[in-house]
Amino acid sequence: MAKVKITETVLRDAHQSLFATRMTIDDMLPILDEMDKVGYHSIECWGGATFDACIRFLDEDPWERLRILKKHMPNTPLQMLYRGQNCLGYRHYADDVVEYFVEKSVANGIDVLRIFDALNDIRNLQSSIRATKKAGGHLQACLCYTTSPVHNIEYFTKYAKQLEDEGADSICIKDMAGLLTPYGTYDLVKALKETVKIPIQLHTHYTSGLASMAELKAIEAGVDIIDTAMSPLALGTSHAPTESMVAALQGTEYDTGLDLKQLDKIRAHFATIRQKYVDNGMINHKVLGVDANTLLYQVPGGMLSNLLSQLKQAGKEELYEEVLREVPRVREDAGFPPLVTPSSQIVGTQAVFNVLNGERYKMVTKEFKGLVRGDYGQTPVPIKPEFVKQIIGDEPQITCRPADNLEPELDKLRAECAEYMEQEEDVLTYAQFGQVAVKFFENRRNKKLHIDGEHVDVKNKVHPL
């Protein structure tokens, strides 16, 4: 048995899970050089919601962030989370945008692209897989884990084999809601190891309280890599603590070989970061505990807070439990999609509407219609024809790969944002986030620093490397 490898999530998913992806590059800079000495398998530090948060809330260029991270951690593979045909946005993009985004991600410092499709529709990953292989990156393809009458070991092993055949370099079990149980994890990993010849990685959240046990059983079943987070930003809706898992495996055949003293330097830094976000109210105590309800309703932690927020705005917080019960019913109607971006938001919002209106599907969101129509791809179970008719009437369903209906759009997007472009990557920022990106570009262009009586463009200010 080879040593178990560790992917550290503290620079991406840990703070995305606990305080809405608000960690800044200045929070990270002081500890990056020490993190590079640890010997992690990889550090997940980009993609997911970091791109959106950088330009929407932090006034940071995500591409500059990536270049800084690479400069300070040259010895550690950098990893990102990528939504396949959705890139880092919330709709499907034409293949030329997807391919260019992958090319530029690798060129700016990403080594490992972890890609997923919310419906586990392999057609929505094919462009990303080809582009990653062409750019020379490591392509890690995800099984979005969920439970339903069809999501069983046979389903996941079949999908894993398809991903391997498509060109994946490794497979990630992506358990975004923390649904994996220890013995269920053991059986799944064992079956996957018998089915594919490429490495298997486990990504699971602590939401239900089972993550450490699930990871340990995965290791016993032969998993190659696990995702963990430094302890100050672990647990709750985040991940199992890095130091705890390293200590648990010390002196065994699975020993990670990582140094707890070196990890303690990292821990001390993130303890101060945690306190900063506790003090400013960004970390809500609700995300720090265990919520076993996720095992009943299969609702990821971030989706729970979003549902509560929607009900608060409507002044109907007392309907929270009823909405949670409605989520699995809506999910079944919609063909059992895994609940991960964007399907989690689509199903969750429709469940809220169903409960608030006192009548199921009296009001249907544009996104839910799109899910039923096939805009996002093929659902795990075909949706019943009578339900399709109820939601979209006589509109035809999309049965091909959705992106096949999209014309190339990169040149058009370049023309639209030409006046703001200061680097080639800006067209990709604009492609994902439209007017939010324009606002960011305008701030970047207009902001001035007054130094010694002279005005200096912020774009010319170089971040300390």
- Rounded to whole angstroms, the maximal C-alpha distance in the chain is 71
Residue 140 DSSP symbol: E
Strand partners, 228: 8
Residue found by looking up tokens 């993190």 in the block = 35
- CATH 1.10.472.90 domain span(s) along the chain: 299-404
pLDDT at 301: 66
Strand partners, 451: 454
pLDDT at 396: 94
5-285 sits in which CATH class? alpha beta
pLDDT at 298: 80
Architecture of domain 299-404: Orthogonal Bundle (1.10)
pLDDT at 1: 57
Report d(CA 177, CA 340) in Å as an integer: 8
Report d(CA 26, CA 275) in Å as an integer: 15
Start-to-end Cα distance in the chain: 39
pLDDT at 124: 97
What is the number of other CB atoms lying within 10 angstroms of the CB of residue 382? 10
**Exposure pattern of 257-282 as b/e (b: 16+ CB <10 Å)?**
ebeeeebeebbebbeebbeebeeeee
What is the number of other CB atoms lying within 10 angstroms of the CB of residue 442? 12
pLDDT at 349: 92
Alpha helix (H) residue ranges in 124-282: 126-135, 153-166, 182-195, 211-220, 242-249, 260-279
Strand partners, 175: 204
pLDDT at 209: 95
Report d(CA 163, CA 27) in Å as an integer: 37
Residue 54 DSSP symbol: I
Burial (CB count within 10 angstroms: exposed 0-12, middle 13-18, buried 19+), residue 88: buried
Report d(CA 320, CA 307) in Å as an integer: 8
Report d(CA 291, CA 368) in Å as an integer: 27
Low-confidence ranges of the chain (pLDDT < 70): 1, 301-302, 305, 448-465
pLDDT digits (tens, 9 = 90+) for 238-293: 999 999 999 999 999 999 999 999 999 999 999 999 999 999 998 877 788 888 87
Amino acid type, 102: V
pLDDT at 74: 98
pLDDT at 449: 44
- CATH 3.20.20.70 domain span(s) along the chain: 5-285
The tokens describing 192, both together, are 């996957």
Q: For the whole model, what pTM was predicted? A: 0.93
CB 167 within 8 A of CB 139: yes
pLDDT digits (tens, 9 = 90+) for 371-427: 999 999 999 999 999 999 999 999 999 999 999 999 999 999 999 999 999 999 999
